[in-house]
Structure 1
Amino acid sequence: MSDLGAAWAGGGHRGSLREAASVIGVRIKSSYARNNDTQLWPEHREAYEIFGACATQWRVIAGVGNAIHQGIDYTALESVMRMRGVEDTAARFEQIRHIEAGALGVINKR
Protein backbone atom coordinates (compact mmCIF):
# COMPACT_ATOMS: atom_id res chain seq x y z
CA MET A 1 0.00 0.00 0.00
CA SER A 2 2.91 2.38 0.42
CA ASP A 3 3.07 2.35 -3.40
CA LEU A 4 -0.23 4.23 -3.37
CA GLY A 5 1.31 6.97 -1.27
CA ALA A 6 4.38 7.15 -3.45
CA ALA A 7 2.18 7.31 -6.54
CA TRP A 8 0.10 10.05 -4.93
CA ALA A 9 3.16 12.11 -4.10
CA GLY A 10 4.90 11.38 -7.38
CA GLY A 11 1.88 12.01 -9.54
CA GLY A 12 1.91 8.52 -10.99
CA HIS A 13 -1.71 7.62 -10.29
CA ARG A 14 -4.67 8.64 -12.42
CA GLY A 15 -6.52 11.78 -11.41
CA SER A 16 -3.72 14.36 -11.45
CA LEU A 17 -2.34 13.63 -8.01
CA ARG A 18 0.63 15.89 -8.69
CA GLU A 19 -1.87 18.75 -8.96
CA ALA A 20 -3.47 17.66 -5.68
CA ALA A 21 -0.08 17.80 -3.98
CA SER A 22 0.58 21.25 -5.41
CA VAL A 23 -2.58 22.52 -3.70
CA ILE A 24 -0.82 22.10 -0.36
CA GLY A 25 2.44 23.54 -1.63
CA VAL A 26 4.19 20.25 -2.30
CA ARG A 27 6.28 20.33 -5.45
CA ILE A 28 7.56 17.02 -6.71
CA LYS A 29 10.55 16.88 -9.04
CA SER A 30 9.83 14.96 -12.20
CA SER A 31 12.72 12.63 -11.38
CA TYR A 32 10.59 11.25 -8.53
CA ALA A 33 7.48 10.79 -10.62
CA ARG A 34 6.49 7.20 -11.11
CA ASN A 35 5.02 5.40 -14.07
CA ASN A 36 1.30 4.71 -14.04
CA ASP A 37 1.93 1.20 -12.75
CA THR A 38 0.26 1.52 -9.35
CA GLN A 39 -3.05 -0.24 -8.95
CA LEU A 40 -5.73 0.68 -6.46
CA TRP A 41 -7.30 -2.50 -5.15
CA PRO A 42 -10.98 -2.33 -4.17
CA GLU A 43 -10.19 -3.17 -0.54
CA HIS A 44 -7.90 -0.11 -0.35
CA ARG A 45 -10.19 2.39 -2.08
CA GLU A 46 -11.79 3.74 1.09
CA ALA A 47 -8.42 4.28 2.77
CA TYR A 48 -7.05 6.01 -0.33
CA GLU A 49 -10.08 8.29 -0.58
CA ILE A 50 -9.75 9.23 3.09
CA PHE A 51 -6.04 9.89 2.56
CA GLY A 52 -6.92 12.18 -0.33
CA ALA A 53 -9.51 13.98 1.78
CA CYS A 54 -6.71 14.80 4.24
CA ALA A 55 -4.45 16.27 1.55
CA THR A 56 -4.36 19.65 3.30
CA GLN A 57 -3.79 18.19 6.75
CA TRP A 58 -0.03 17.56 6.76
CA ARG A 59 2.17 18.43 9.71
CA VAL A 60 5.09 20.36 8.25
CA ILE A 61 8.24 21.76 9.83
CA ALA A 62 9.35 24.80 7.87
CA GLY A 63 13.07 25.41 7.72
CA VAL A 64 15.28 27.81 5.87
CA GLY A 65 14.78 26.95 2.22
CA ASN A 66 12.87 23.73 2.75
CA ALA A 67 10.02 22.02 4.54
CA ILE A 68 9.92 18.60 6.15
CA HIS A 69 6.62 16.79 6.08
CA GLN A 70 6.17 14.75 9.24
CA GLY A 71 2.89 13.12 8.29
CA ILE A 72 -0.84 13.60 8.33
CA ASP A 73 -2.40 15.27 11.37
CA TYR A 74 -4.10 12.25 12.93
CA THR A 75 -6.74 14.31 14.74
CA ALA A 76 -7.87 15.62 11.35
CA LEU A 77 -7.73 12.08 9.97
CA GLU A 78 -9.93 10.83 12.78
CA SER A 79 -12.39 13.64 12.11
CA VAL A 80 -12.56 12.81 8.40
CA MET A 81 -13.17 9.14 9.16
CA ARG A 82 -15.96 10.06 11.59
CA MET A 83 -17.58 12.44 9.07
CA ARG A 84 -17.46 9.75 6.40
CA GLY A 85 -18.97 7.13 8.70
CA VAL A 86 -16.04 4.72 8.48
CA GLU A 87 -16.92 1.54 10.34
CA ASP A 88 -13.55 -0.14 10.85
CA THR A 89 -11.44 2.90 11.75
CA ALA A 90 -8.55 0.84 13.13
CA ALA A 91 -8.11 -1.07 9.86
CA ARG A 92 -8.40 2.09 7.76
CA PHE A 93 -5.92 3.89 10.02
CA GLU A 94 -3.31 1.17 9.43
CA GLN A 95 -3.91 1.26 5.67
CA ILE A 96 -3.61 5.06 5.62
CA ARG A 97 -0.36 4.88 7.60
CA HIS A 98 1.11 2.67 4.84
CA ILE A 99 -0.04 5.11 2.14
CA GLU A 100 1.35 8.00 4.19
CA ALA A 101 4.75 6.27 4.52
CA GLY A 102 5.00 5.91 0.76
CA ALA A 103 4.05 9.55 0.22
CA LEU A 104 6.57 10.77 2.79
CA GLY A 105 9.31 8.78 1.09
CA VAL A 106 8.77 10.86 -2.04
CA ILE A 107 7.76 14.24 -0.60
CA ASN A 108 10.76 14.60 1.68
CA LYS A 109 13.29 13.69 -1.04
CA ARG A 110 12.76 16.91 -2.98
Structure 2
Amino acid sequence: MASPQWADATTEALFVRACADCHSNRTVWPWYSNVAPVSWLVQRHVDEGRSKFNIHVPGFGRDADEAAQQVRSGKMPESTYPPLHPTARLNSAERAQLAQGLAATFGDDE
Protein backbone atom coordinates (compact mmCIF):
# COMPACT_ATOMS: atom_id res chain seq x y z
CA MET A 1 0.00 0.00 0.00
CA ALA A 2 1.47 3.30 -1.08
CA SER A 3 1.78 6.13 1.42
CA PRO A 4 2.33 9.81 0.75
CA GLN A 5 5.67 11.49 1.17
CA TRP A 6 4.65 13.67 4.11
CA ALA A 7 5.92 17.25 4.20
CA ASP A 8 6.98 16.68 7.82
CA ALA A 9 6.53 14.25 10.70
CA THR A 10 4.11 16.56 12.53
CA THR A 11 1.67 16.57 9.63
CA GLU A 12 1.76 12.80 9.47
CA ALA A 13 1.23 12.49 13.24
CA LEU A 14 -1.71 14.92 13.21
CA PHE A 15 -3.24 13.14 10.22
CA VAL A 16 -2.93 9.75 11.93
CA ARG A 17 -4.46 11.16 15.13
CA ALA A 18 -7.42 12.95 13.59
CA CYS A 19 -7.99 11.71 10.03
CA ALA A 20 -6.55 8.31 9.19
CA ASP A 21 -9.42 6.17 10.44
CA CYS A 22 -11.73 7.58 7.74
CA HIS A 23 -9.28 8.91 5.14
CA SER A 24 -6.87 6.00 4.67
CA ASN A 25 -6.93 2.24 4.27
CA ARG A 26 -5.46 1.84 7.76
CA THR A 27 -8.62 2.23 9.79
CA VAL A 28 -8.36 1.20 13.43
CA TRP A 29 -11.77 -0.34 14.04
CA PRO A 30 -12.98 0.23 17.62
CA TRP A 31 -14.87 -2.50 19.47
CA TYR A 32 -18.23 -0.79 18.89
CA SER A 33 -17.71 -1.03 15.13
CA ASN A 34 -18.65 -4.70 15.53
CA VAL A 35 -22.01 -4.01 17.19
CA ALA A 36 -25.07 -3.30 15.04
CA PRO A 37 -26.59 -0.79 14.45
CA VAL A 38 -23.60 1.38 15.43
CA SER A 39 -21.42 -0.68 13.10
CA TRP A 40 -23.52 0.44 10.14
CA LEU A 41 -22.98 4.10 10.99
CA VAL A 42 -19.25 3.63 11.52
CA GLN A 43 -18.89 1.77 8.22
CA ARG A 44 -20.89 4.46 6.41
CA HIS A 45 -18.67 7.22 7.84
CA VAL A 46 -15.50 5.38 6.84
CA ASP A 47 -16.82 4.61 3.35
CA GLU A 48 -17.88 8.23 2.84
CA GLY A 49 -14.57 9.57 4.14
CA ARG A 50 -12.54 7.27 1.93
CA SER A 51 -14.63 8.18 -1.12
CA LYS A 52 -13.89 11.89 -0.61
CA PHE A 53 -10.22 11.72 0.36
CA ASN A 54 -8.08 8.61 0.86
CA ILE A 55 -4.32 9.01 1.11
CA HIS A 56 -3.75 5.44 -0.08
CA VAL A 57 -5.56 5.82 -3.41
CA PRO A 58 -3.60 7.35 -6.29
CA GLY A 59 -5.08 10.64 -7.43
CA PHE A 60 -6.83 11.57 -4.21
CA GLY A 61 -4.14 14.14 -3.48
CA ARG A 62 -5.93 16.39 -5.95
CA ASP A 63 -8.58 16.91 -3.25
CA ALA A 64 -6.07 17.99 -0.61
CA ASP A 65 -6.95 21.66 -0.95
CA GLU A 66 -10.57 20.85 -0.05
CA ALA A 67 -9.41 18.61 2.80
CA ALA A 68 -7.17 21.39 4.13
CA GLN A 69 -10.08 23.85 3.95
CA GLN A 70 -12.33 21.43 5.84
CA VAL A 71 -9.70 21.19 8.60
CA ARG A 72 -9.21 24.99 8.68
CA SER A 73 -12.95 25.62 8.97
CA GLY A 74 -13.39 23.09 11.78
CA LYS A 75 -15.63 20.79 9.72
CA MET A 76 -13.08 17.99 10.02
CA PRO A 77 -12.68 15.86 11.94
CA GLU A 78 -16.44 15.27 11.69
CA SER A 79 -18.17 16.33 14.92
CA THR A 80 -19.18 12.83 16.05
CA TYR A 81 -15.61 11.50 15.86
CA PRO A 82 -13.64 13.38 18.59
CA PRO A 83 -15.98 12.57 21.50
CA LEU A 84 -15.20 8.87 21.04
CA HIS A 85 -11.59 9.48 19.97
CA PRO A 86 -10.15 12.14 22.32
CA THR A 87 -6.76 12.14 20.60
CA ALA A 88 -8.51 13.42 17.46
CA ARG A 89 -9.38 16.71 19.16
CA LEU A 90 -7.30 19.43 17.52
CA ASN A 91 -6.65 22.85 18.97
CA SER A 92 -6.51 25.85 16.64
CA ALA A 93 -2.73 25.69 16.26
CA GLU A 94 -2.88 21.97 15.39
CA ARG A 95 -5.68 22.64 12.90
CA ALA A 96 -3.62 25.31 11.17
CA GLN A 97 -0.54 23.10 11.17
CA LEU A 98 -2.43 20.10 9.75
CA ALA A 99 -4.07 22.20 7.02
CA GLN A 100 -0.74 23.73 6.06
CA GLY A 101 0.90 20.28 6.11
CA LEU A 102 -1.80 18.77 3.89
CA ALA A 103 -1.29 21.58 1.43
CA ALA A 104 2.48 21.12 1.51
CA THR A 105 2.24 17.33 1.18
CA PHE A 106 -0.32 17.15 -1.60
CA GLY A 107 -0.19 20.63 -3.14
CA ASP A 108 -2.71 23.41 -2.73
CA ASP A 109 -4.51 25.36 -5.40
CA GLU A 110 -5.31 28.29 -3.10
TM-score bracket relative to the smaller structure? 0.3 to 0.5
TM-score by length of 2: 0.37
Structure number with the bigger relative contact order (C-alpha 8 A, sep ≥ 6) is 1
TM-score normalized by the length of structure 1? 0.37
Q: Which has the higher helix share?
A: 2
